[in-house]
Amino acid sequence: MDEEFLCVRCARHGKTCCQLCEVYVTPGDVARITEFTGESDFYHFLAPGDSAYQATDDDPLWREKVFRPDGTRRVLRRRPDGDCTFLGPQGCRLPLEVRPLVCRLYPYDYTEQAIKDELARGCPLELLRPGQGLIQALNMNLDEARRWHRQLYEEIRQEEHGHEDRADL
């Protein structure tokens, strides 16, 4: 019998990262998602719901480039129930190579300098099988995460606030 994927078990357990998180999207994410979906209204600019998020000082490039002067940043839209606009009945409707880089990296925690040794909080570790690690359960690969991390920060450096292609929706 196939083992049920951890994210499926998590969804039955309670709200998931796809339902609770404000997902920052890079200019590259916007281009990839727009090309795949043909849509351009899937993001907006929003101040963080958690003020501690913006006060974080361990990643100066993130703070400088991700946030606009008014304290907002580009994030995926969410439905009225809080679900990500791309969350479908079977999970994310976007293929892995199109998903926002921060989604691909989760639950790795990181700064511009490196991926941290400690994982981000949020995944229900109590749902892991005995002896199973979180990264193993998610079928993630550290080398691939490092590649996505490099790409994320390359794309963050492309941020030029005040020169967005469309009006804030």
Question: For the segment 72-113, what is each residue's pLDDT rounded down to a tens digit?
Answer: 999 999 999 888 888 887 777 899 899 999 988 888 888 899
Contact at 8 Å (CB) between 160 and 34? Answer: no
What was the pLDDT predicted at 116?
79
Q: Residue 163: inside a domain, yes or no?
A: no
Q: Which amino acid is at 59?
A: D
Identify whether 161 is part of a domain: no
- Please determine, for residue 22, whether its predicted confidence score (pLDDT) is greater than 70: yes
- Classify residue 1: in a domain, yes or no: no
Q: How many domains does the structure of the chain reveal? A: 1
Flag whether 151 is in a domain. Answer: yes
pLDDT tens-place string over residues 24-49: 999 999 999 999 999 999 999 999 98
pLDDT higher than 80, residue 15: no
For residue 122, the enclosing domain spans 6-156
| Cβ-based neighbour number of residue 146 at 10 Å | 15
Q: Is residue 167 part of a domain?
A: no
Pairing of β 87-88 and β 91-92: antiparallel
Domain-embedded: residue 148? yes
What pTM was computed for the model? 0.80
Question: Is 32 among the domain residues?
Answer: yes
Alpha-carbon distances of 132 from 83, 119, 126, 135, 152, rounded to whole Å? 28, 15, 11, 9, 28
Burial class (CB in 10 A: 0-12, 13-18, 19+), 50: exposed
Query: Rounded to an integer, what distance in angstroms lies between the CA atom of residue 93 and that of residue 99?
Result: 9
59 within some domain: yes
Using an 8 Å Cβ cutoff, are 109 and 116 in contact? Answer: yes
In angstroms, what CA-CA distances link 66 with 3, 151, 162, 163, 169? Answer: 38, 15, 12, 13, 18
More confident residue, 150 or 4: 150
Percentage with pLDDT > 70 across the chain: 70
Give the confidence band of 7 by pLDDT, cuts at 50, 70, 90.
low
Place of tokens 């839209």: 77
